[in-house]
Amino acid sequence: MRVLRNAVTPLLCVVLASAAHAASTRTTLTWISGSTTRVSQIVGDCDYAAQATKSGGCTPTISRTATRSKVLGTDIGSSFESQGNLIFLFGDTTGPAEDYGAGDTMASSTSTDPANLFVDFYTKTDGTPYFARIQNINMGAANVPHAGIRLDSGTYIACNTGTDQTLPDPNANRYSILTKFDEVNRRFTLLRTISSMPNGHFVTTSLHANGSDVLMYGLGAYRGSNVYLATVPASSFETGAGTKYFTGLANGIPQWSTSESAAVPVVVDNAVSPSVGNVSVTYSNELGLWLMTYDGGATSPSTAGVWFTYATDPWGPWAAPQLIFNAKRDGAMGVFIHDPSIVPDPPGDGLNGPTIGANDPYRTRGATYAPYTIERFTRVSGSTLSIYYTVSTWNPYTTVEMRSDFTIAHPAGRRRGVHH
């Protein structure tokens, strides 16, 4: 874990010292090299990886979203539980013959078997996709719903907005908002601004209940952030009253401030400079551990990809992050992510598109981003932990389900966790 410079360095030294002390007394999770696999393609009609090896033949996806709901391509794929349903939040969406103006879609699922994930996109009466629309809020290109949570008071969804593709820095004015979502009538009500650039730390979030509070893990600059933590009473989540920002550990005790500017990272990106763009935090009741996935390490091709870390307490100390998926190292390029260096093209690797916007399907390199863990699919079997998560691949423009396995080592006499 890279140590931050300047004002926060002494604080992180305390955190790292605490982590070293705790390492011998906690359950440890170690990624099993080579275990990360692609489970299925969630979006689209035809499995692009299978299609690439069958000279144009179509192996149907489980959900056949293009035929059933006119959704050909999406990214993101954050999910949360609500009244027995798994709700998915997707980003900019394309159709079989339409681009939809970068509208954002949602879907639900009742699947309990990670090997057979079926998603049902919300549609309107005419069979076209339902799009997330919020009055007076720009939900155009790169402005997306990214996190949700169900509380006793209702369903809440956090969104990014303020991105402007006409600016030199499209994300200069980016900010996050909290909305209340009426699941029956499918209507959004704007509640408040959560955080904003240039100095905000919660412009992208991951939400999780923890007792009577809501944990909010956050990022600032898009693909240029470390991971931060705030806590909000569930009873005042709509207004944000009582929000506290994590400022570090003192002798293992979390410290808090009411000022967002005082927040310090709970997890630092393992890169020359921070590069996290999306974060997901879930809880394993069987292990008594908080689990985090994020896309980071982007300053080097060898470190870019999906990172994983875990902690006993939501504020940490978090274990040293592990790179659990790198597209090149783990054999994804040219298999289910387009590699334009494979020539001649055509036919290349057969993964040329679909793409979104004006991106050339042959020349646009695929990418790995937005790893969102599907909490209900987390599995513990003996000494092995398996997590399942979505990943966006850019080209082909779709979202896939991934699996990664870890060896579990419990310290002698350690009791497994209780529900948070």
Q: What is the DSSP string of 255-311?
A: EEES-GGG---SB--SSSS--B--EEEEEETTTTEEEEEEEE-TTSTTT-EEEEEEE
d(CA 307, CA 322): 5
**Tokens 């009500």 label which residue?**
189
Q: How far is CA 400 from CA 12, 21, 72, 107, 336, in A?
A: 36, 38, 13, 14, 9
Q: In what order do the strands lie in the sheet with 85-92?
A: 76-82, 85-92, 104-109, 120-121
Residues in contact with 79: Cβ distance below 8 Å, sequence separation at least 6, in sequence order: 86, 87, 88, 89, 109, 148, 372, 374, 375, 390
d(CA 222, CA 297): 13
pTM (two decimals): 0.92
Backbone dihedral region of 162: left (phi > 0), alpha (psi from -120 to 50 degrees) or beta? left
Q: How far is CA 415 from CA 242, 268, 291, 314, 409, in A?
A: 33, 29, 18, 18, 12
Cis preceding linkage at 354, omega within 30 = yes
CB 382 within 8 A of CB 405: no
CB 100 within 8 A of CB 91: no
Q: Which residues pair with 175 in a beta bridge?
A: 161, 196
Q: What is the DSSP string of 158-203?
A: EEEE---TTSSSTTTT-EEEEEEEETTTTEEEEEEEEEETTT-S-S
Question: How many DSSP H helices and E strands does the chain contain?
Answer: 3, 23
Token representation of residue 227: 């991971």
d(CA 128, CA 95): 9
d(CA 366, CA 75): 12
Identify whether 1 is part of a domain: no
Calculate the CA dihedral of residues 183, 93, 197, 229 and round it to 10 degrees.
Answer: 50
Query: Cα angle at 49 between 365 and 101, to 5 degrees?
Result: 55
Range of the domain at 108: 6-409
Q: Determine the 3-state secondary structure of 57 from DSSP.
A: coil
Q: Where residue 47 sits, what CATH number does that domain have?
A: 2.115.10.20
Q: Which residues pair with 29 in a beta bridge?
A: 408
Residues in contact with 234: Cβ distance below 8 Å, sequence separation at least 6, in sequence order: 151, 152, 153, 209, 212, 213, 214
CB 50 within 8 A of CB 44: no
Of 372, 345, 361, residue with least CA distance to 397: 361
- Give the per-residue pLDDT at 347: 83
Identify whether 338 is part of a domain: yes
Burial of 37 (0-12, 13-18, 19+ CB in 10 A): middle
Q: Residue-wise pLDDT tens for the chain (420 aa)?
A: 333 333 333 334 434 444 444 444 689 999 999 999 999 999 999 999 998 887 678 999 999 999 999 999 999 999 999 999 999 999 999 999 998 999 999 999 999 999 999 999 999 999 999 999 999 999 999 999 999 999 999 999 999 999 999 999 999 999 999 999 999 999 999 999 999 999 999 999 999 999 999 999 999 999 999 999 999 999 999 999 999 999 999 999 999 999 999 999 999 998 889 999 999 999 999 999 999 999 999 999 999 999 999 999 999 999 999 999 999 999 999 999 999 999 887 789 999 999 999 999 999 999 999 999 999 999 999 999 999 999 999 999 999 999 999 999 998 755 444 444
Identify whether 133 is part of a domain: yes
Per the structure, how many domains does the chain have?
A: 1
